[in-house]
Amino acid sequence: MNLPNYITLLRVILIPFFINLMIYGYYGAALLVFLAACITDALDGLIARLLKQKTELGAFLDPMADKLLILSAFVTLVLLGKLPFWLVIIVISRDAILTMGSLVIYFMTNNLTIQPSMTGKLTTVLQLSVVTVSLFAMTYGIWDHQFLTILEWSTAVVTIASGTQYFMRGLKLVG
Contacts of 99 (CB under 8 A, 6+ apart): none
Q: What is the pLDDT of residue 107?
A: 82
Per residue in 55-110, pLDDT (tens digit) is: 878 877 888 899 999 999 999 999 999 999 999 999 999 999 988 888 888 788 77
Q: What is the pLDDT of residue 112?
A: 67
What CATH number does domain 3-174 carry, 1.10.1490.10, 1.20.120.1760, 3.40.50.9100, 3.30.460.80? Answer: 1.20.120.1760
Contacts of 94 (CB under 8 A, 6+ apart): 159, 160, 162, 163
Q: Select from 11, 121, 111 the least CA-distant residue to 62.
A: 11
Residue extents of the structural domains in the chain: 3-174
Answer yes or no: is pLDDT of 151 > 80: yes
Give DSSP secondary structure letters for 40-72.
Answer: HHHHHHHHHHHTT---HHHHHHHHHHHHHHHHH
Between 42 and 80, where is the model more confident? 80
Q: What is the pLDDT of residue 96?
A: 92
Mean pLDDT of 131-153: 91
Q: Select from 164, 161, 143, 163 the least CA-distant residue to 153.
A: 161
Answer yes or no: is pLDDT of 35 > 80: yes
pTM comes to 0.90
